[in-house]
């Protein structure tokens, strides 16, 4: 074996380090994922007293740009830009996520995340919509945290707990606190101090055998939902995900979440004050909830079929509730780079004065350019 001088070894290490640094900082992974939707429903038209489906509407749901790379062996950065539909001509590019994650090198083996990111609240909130097996969002997600999810500016710290063979992780976040206010469509013109919000999640992962595993989680999130009266809310959430995967071609996923909302409110979502019988302000102590559960079965690698059940009250009223049942089918002809999804959903909403049901059909098409895939197998 030929002997290499120590000085040469040093130069080799320096050059290797420079090459690695160049690869991580100058050549990030770049992904583009567009989502298109053709949708029709029978909720708006009646023909001779009978339901009639609307003319199918072609929509751009979202065009997502992702840039991801390791900054160094200890940290990585993720940036996602989003062009929201459904109107392509009126759409504008916005920042969806931009954060840095320190993965190692901190005391107690802490992981640290800072920037704008999807908060670790529940299981579904952390998943980009294109990676979900269905077309529509669960009702409880739409009503309590909005279609964009809990996505906020903040800082997060997480660590593994010493629980033996059970993988247990605890995460805590300090956030700007605008997600719930923006989801409710409230424009804060109060000029008051920052809202701020705090969230946490405790999750455990159990191996149930060679082919199956189970993850459970408990999350909480508290902040200000009414910037004018500084009224506070608490969200409590439990979730589970069971996965059975006997081969690379077959898998079964069962997943569900239940959310409990506790809040005090001087006014409702429309900023109309709560009044008693005499017309005087009447603060309300509200407790409402919602849940979803779904099953998704993958077979022959490129096909999946599933169903989801939703039930949800309104954040401000137990008398305004809705439930839905949906069935969805997925086709992934070229592994995870191309995806076609078909979904039928029946939704019924009820208030003290009326009840309404809607049948909807959606056909979704998306594809992925780059390593951030359209669907994780």
Render pLDDT for 295-314 as a digit per residue (tens, 0 to 9). 999 999 899 999 999 999 99
Mapping DSSP to helix (H, G, I), strand (E, B) and coil, where does residue 8 land?
helix
Q: Give just the sign of the alpha carbon dihedral 15, 18, 23, 24.
A: positive
Cα separation, 316 vs 180, whole angstroms: 13
Q: Which residues, listed in sequence order, are joined to residue 288 by a DSSP beta bridge? A: 261
Q: What is the pTM of this model?
A: 0.87
Does residue 358 surpass a pLDDT of 70?
yes
Cα separation, 145 vs 179, whole angstroms: 7
Query: Cis bond leading into 86, ω under 30°?
Result: yes
Mapping DSSP to helix (H, G, I), strand (E, B) and coil, where does residue 17 land?
helix
Q: Please list, in sequence order, all residues whose beta carbon lies within 8 angstroms of the beta carbon of residue 363, skipping any fewer than 6 positions away.
A: 37, 38, 39, 340, 341, 342
**369, 332 contact by CB (below 8 A):** no
Cα separation, 374 vs 338, whole angstroms: 7
**Residue with the larger pLDDT of the pair 296 and 2:** 296
Q: Which of 199, 126, 123, 202 is nearest to 161 (CA)?
A: 202
Confirm or reject CATH 2.40.160.10 for domain 36-367, answering yes or no.
yes
Q: What is the pLDDT of residues 168-216, one digit of tens each?
A: 999 999 999 888 887 777 777 666 677 899 999 999 999 999 999 999 9
CA 167 to chain centre: 22
Lowest mean pLDDT among 4-18, 161-175, 181-195, 312-326: 4-18
In the block, tokens 């809202």 appear at 195
87 token code pair: 């109107």
Average pLDDT over residues 259-288: 89
Read off the pLDDT band of 46 (50, 70, 90). Answer: low
Give the ranges where 170-242 is alpha helix by DSSP (H): 179-183
What size, in residues, is the chain?
377
- 226 torsion bin: left (phi>0), alpha (psi -120 to 50), beta (else): beta
- What is the residue extent of each domain of the chain? 36-367
Does residue 21 surpass a pLDDT of 80?
no
Cα separation, 316 vs 293, whole angstroms: 23
Does residue 1 surpass a pLDDT of 70?
no
Does residue 16 surpass a pLDDT of 50?
no
**321, 350 contact by CB (below 8 A):** yes
155 token code pair: 């800082």
Cα separation, 143 vs 145, whole angstroms: 6
**Torsions phi, psi for 162 (to 5 deg):** -80, 80
Instruction: Report the mean per-residue pLDDT for the chain.
Output: 88
């Amino acid at each position: 074996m030929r002997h290499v001088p120590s000085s040469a070894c040093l130069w080799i290490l320096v050059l290797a380090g420079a090459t690695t640094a160049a690869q991580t900082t100058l050549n990030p992974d770049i992904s583009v994922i567009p989502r298109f939707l053709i949708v029709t429903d029978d909720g708006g038209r009646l023909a001779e007293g009978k339901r009639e489906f609307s003319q199918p509407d072609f929509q751009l749901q979202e065009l997502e740009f992702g840039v991801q790379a390791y900054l160094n062996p200890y940290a990585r950065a993720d940036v996602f830009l989003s062009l929201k539909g459904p109107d392509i001509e009126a759409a504008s590019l916005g920042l969806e996520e931009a954060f840095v994650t320190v993965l190692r090198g901190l005391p107690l083996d802490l992981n640290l995340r800072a920037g704008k990111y999807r908060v670790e609240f529940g299981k579904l909130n952390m998943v980009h919509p294109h990676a979900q097996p269905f077309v529509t969002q669960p009702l409880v997600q739409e009503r309590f945290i909005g279609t964009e999810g809990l996505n906020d500016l903040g800082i997060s710290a997480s660590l593994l707990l010493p629980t033996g063979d059970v993988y247990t992780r605890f995460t805590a976040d300090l956030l700007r606190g605008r997600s719930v206010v923006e989801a409710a469509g409230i424009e804060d013109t109060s000029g008051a101090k920052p809202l701020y919000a705090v969230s946490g999640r405790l999750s455990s992962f159990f191996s149930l055998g060679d082919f199956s595993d189970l993850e459970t989680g408990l999350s909480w999130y508290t902040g200000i939902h009414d910037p004018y009266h500084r009224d506070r809310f608490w969200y409590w959430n439990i979730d589970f995900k069971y996965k059975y995967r006997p081969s690379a071609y077959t898998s079964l996923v069962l997943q569900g979440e239940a959310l409990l909302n506790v809040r005090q409110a001087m006014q409702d979502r429309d900023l109309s004050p709560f009044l008693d019988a005499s017309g005087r302000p009447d603060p309300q102590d509200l407790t409402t909830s919602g849940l979803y559960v779904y099953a998704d079965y993958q077979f022959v690698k490129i096909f999946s079929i599933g169903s989801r059940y939703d039930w949800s009250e309104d954040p401000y009223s137990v008398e305004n509730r809705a439930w839905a049942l949906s069935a969805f089918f997925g086709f992934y002809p070229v592994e995870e780079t191309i995806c076609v999804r078909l979904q039928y959903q029946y939704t019924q909403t009820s208030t003290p004065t009326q009840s309404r049901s809607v049948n909807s059909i959606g056909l979704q098409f998306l594809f992925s350019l780059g390593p951030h895939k359209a669907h994780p197998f």
